[in-house]
Homo-oligomer: A and B are copies of this chain.
Amino acid sequence: MKQKRFFLSDSELPQQWYNIVADMPQKPQPLLNPQTRQPAKLDELSQIFATECCRQELNTTEAWIDIPEQVQELYRNYRSTPLVRAYGLEKALDTPAHIYFKNESVNPLGSHKINSAIPQCYYCKQEGITNVTTETGAGQWGMALSYAARLFGLEAAVYQVKVSYNQKPYRRILMQTFGAQVIASPSMSTRAGKDILTHDPNHNGSLGTAISEAVELATTTPEKCKYTLGSVMNHVSLHQTIMGLEAEKQMEMAGEYPDKVIACFGGGSNFSGICFPFMRHNLRQGKKTEFIAAEPASCPKITRGEFRYDYGDEAGITPLIPMFTLGHKFKPANIHAGGLRYHGAGAIVSQLIKDGLMHGMDIPQLESFDAGLLFARSEGIIPAPESCHAIAATVREALKCKEEGKSKTLLFCLTGHGLIDATAYEQYINGDLINYEYK
B contact residues around A88 at 8 Å (CB): 77
Query: Could you say which of B106, B110, B379 contacts A77, with CB atoms under 8 Å apart?
Result: B379
Of the candidate stretches A300-308, A343-351, A420-428, the one touching chain B is A420-428
B contact residues around A73 at 8 Å (CB): 2
A window 396-439: CB within 8 A of B = 419-420, 422-423, 425-426, 429
Task: With CB as the reference atom, state the residue of chain B lying closest to A79.
Answer: B5
CA separation between A4 and B78, bound complex, in Å? Answer: 9
Judged by a CB distance under 8 angstroms, whether A332 is at the interface is: no
B contact residues around A84 at 8 Å (CB): 77
Judged by a CB distance under 8 angstroms, whether A336 is at the interface is: no
Number of interface residues of A (CB under 8 A): 47
Task: With CB as the reference atom, state the residue of chain B lying closest to A87.
Answer: B77
Produce 1/0 per residue, A170-196, CB < 8 A to B. Answer: 110110111100000000000000000
B contact residues around A429 at 8 Å (CB): 173, 176-177
Please determine whether B1 and A177 come into contact, CB atoms closer than 8 angstroms.
no
Contact A380/B108 with A170-B422, A176-B429 known, Cβ cut-off 8 Å: yes
Task: With CB as the reference atom, state the residue of chain B lying closest to A114.
Answer: B380
A window 54-78: CB within 8 A of B = 73, 76-78
Query: Could you say which of B106, B174, B420 contacts A106, with CB atoms under 8 Å apart?
Result: B106
B contact residues around A76 at 8 Å (CB): 1-5
CA separation between A379 and B109, bound complex, in Å? Answer: 11
Judged by a CB distance under 8 angstroms, whether A150 is at the interface is: yes
CA separation between A165 and B170, bound complex, in Å? Answer: 18
Judged by a CB distance under 8 angstroms, whether A11 is at the interface is: yes
Contact A169/B114 with A7-B7, A177-B382, A178-B376 known, Cβ cut-off 8 Å: no
B contact residues around A178 at 8 Å (CB): 376-377
Please determine whether A419 and B170 come into contact, CB atoms closer than 8 angstroms.
yes
Please determine whether A177 and B373 come into contact, CB atoms closer than 8 angstroms.
yes
Judged by a CB distance under 8 angstroms, whether A317 is at the interface is: no
**Smallest CB separation, A84 vs chain B (Å):** 8
Task: With CB as the reference atom, state the residue of chain B lying closest to A146.
Answer: B377
Task: With CB as the reference atom, state the residue of chain B lying closest to A109.
Answer: B380
CA separation between A73 and B87, bound complex, in Å? Answer: 10
Q: Which 10 A-B pairs have CB atoms at the shortest separation, nearest pair first? A: A108-B380, A106-B106, A170-B422, A173-B422, A173-B426, A177-B425, A4-B76, A3-B10, A7-B7, A150-B377
Q: What are 7 A-B pairs at a CB distance below 8 A?
A: A2-B76, A5-B78, A77-B379, A170-B419, A173-B422, A177-B376, A179-B377
